[in-house]
């Protein structure tokens, strides 16, 4: 079941926090920046993963901190692998594929509660009225 709440997602009691990013993102804005500042090890390991595995948009990467915080990064934007390049925009196709991967991870790992922001609707420019139905489609019956 999906509940819409407001407030600081980092204060959520959910077992897992989800964010939307680009492969090789530099985490300069929004939730990603907050996570980078509060959990530097997360950012370091994210960058290492991207530089060694070159993940594709539409996938995800999961990380658990030594104290049990779990972050799932959905690759909703085009990658930024060229030196000095900026991540591209989010697309509904990337969001759709990433949500499919998120559902598979939730089912595989038995996750019962996640905190999910208005995915890809911040600086990346997608409209909530377009993204929300995708979230409901992939996660609404969980």
Q: What is the CATH number of the domain that holds 94?
A: 3.40.220.10
Contact 22, 79 (CB under 8 A): yes
Q: How far apart are CA 96 and CA 28, in angstroms?
A: 24
Residue 81 counted as domain residue: yes
Domain count for the chain, please give it. Answer: 1
Residue 90 counted as domain residue: yes
Range of the domain at 67: 9-139
Please state, for a pLDDT cut of 90, what percent of the chain lies above it. 86
pLDDT of residue 115: 97
In the block, tokens 């900026």 appear at 86
- Residue 133, pLDDT above cutoff 90: yes
Residue 114 counted as domain residue: yes
- Residue 57, pLDDT above cutoff 90: yes
pLDDT digits (tens, 9 = 90+) for 82-111: 877 889 999 999 999 999 999 999 999 999
Residue 23 counted as domain residue: yes
Residue 2 counted as domain residue: no
Cβ-based neighbour number of residue 21 at 10 Å: 27
Residue 4 counted as domain residue: no
The DSSP bridge partners found for residue 90 are 77
Residue 1 counted as domain residue: no
Taking the model in full, what pTM does it have?
A: 0.95
pLDDT of residue 69: 87
Please state, for a pLDDT cut of 70, what percent of the chain lies above it. 100
């Amino acid at each position: 079941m999906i509940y819409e709440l407001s407030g600081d997602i980092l204060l959520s009691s959910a077992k897992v926090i989800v964010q939307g990013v680009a492969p090789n993102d530099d985490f300069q804005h929004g939730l990603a920046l907050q996570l980078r500042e509060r959990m530097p090890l997360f950012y370091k390991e994210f960058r290492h993963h991207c530089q060694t595995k070159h993940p594709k948009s539409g996938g995800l990467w999961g990380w658990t901190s030594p104290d049990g915080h779990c972050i799932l990064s959905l690759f909703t934007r085009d990658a930024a692998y060229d030196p000095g390049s900026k991540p591209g925009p989010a697309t509904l196709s990337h969001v759709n594929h990433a949500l499919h991967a998120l559902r598979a991870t939730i089912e595989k790992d038995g996750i019962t509660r996640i905190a999910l922001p208005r995915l890809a609707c911040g600086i990346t420019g997608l409209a909530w009225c377009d993204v929300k139905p995708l979230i409901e489609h992939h996660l609404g019956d969980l």
